[in-house]
Amino acid sequence: MSVSRTELLRDQFELAWSLFEYHLERLEPEDFLWEPAPHCWTMRRAADGTWTPDWADTEPDPVPVPTIAWVSWHIGWWWTVALDHAQGRPPHDRADVVWPGGGAPAVTWLRDLRARWLSVLDGLGERDLDATAGFPWPGDPRYTVAHTVAWVNTELTKNVSEIGQLRLLRAASAVRQHH
């Protein structure tokens, strides 16, 4: 049985998403802003009530440990930009990707991004996968839309494992404090 690249990439995405759903279903609102270390990146309330991410244009050394809030915003940022490119729209600036807040709003936002991405995947044919990608390798003709879809799958898997690990660490630290 032969599987098309489109089917393979879609199946890979669905596997990564199923791992994410495992954690999304179990996240508590308090999980999002839990700081796993003194040196961390998180989301902070601005004066106007919106959330802003900790950020540095040059990655610091050591790299701050992110909170679930920060990782969920990061997913929303790169996925929004990937969707913009896939749908031929000008990409959002990082500062224009607004995190909706922890708990249900973040989970709903991430599930909406998934639905939007599935629409993109459903519209891709085998020939579409061979087109030159505009993201995340702008101007490099070696990379195709298939590379972008595989990158989304990989980036999502990486971020899912980060969120899962942070969720488990928070739960384990709470158990340890009670014993």
Residues 32 and 162 sit within 8 Å (Cβ to Cβ): no
Percentage of residues in the chain having pLDDT higher than 70? 97
113: confidence class by pLDDT, cuts 50, 70, 90: very high
| Residue range 1-27, pLDDT digits in tens | 788 999 999 999 999 999 999 999 999
| Residue range 148-167, pLDDT digits in tens | 999 999 999 999 999 999 99
| 177 pLDDT more than 70 | no
| 114 pLDDT more than 60 | yes
Residue 124 φ then ψ, to 5°: -85, 130
Most distant CA pair in the chain: distance in Å? 58
- pTM, rounded to two decimals: 0.94
pLDDT in the model for residue 2? 82
Residues 106 and 75 sit within 8 Å (Cβ to Cβ): no
End-to-end CA distance of the chain: 54
pLDDT in the model for residue 138? 83
Domains of the chain, with CATH numbers? Answer: 5-178 (1.20.120.450)
Mean pLDDT for the stretch of residues 52-62:
95
d(CA 15, CA 77): 21
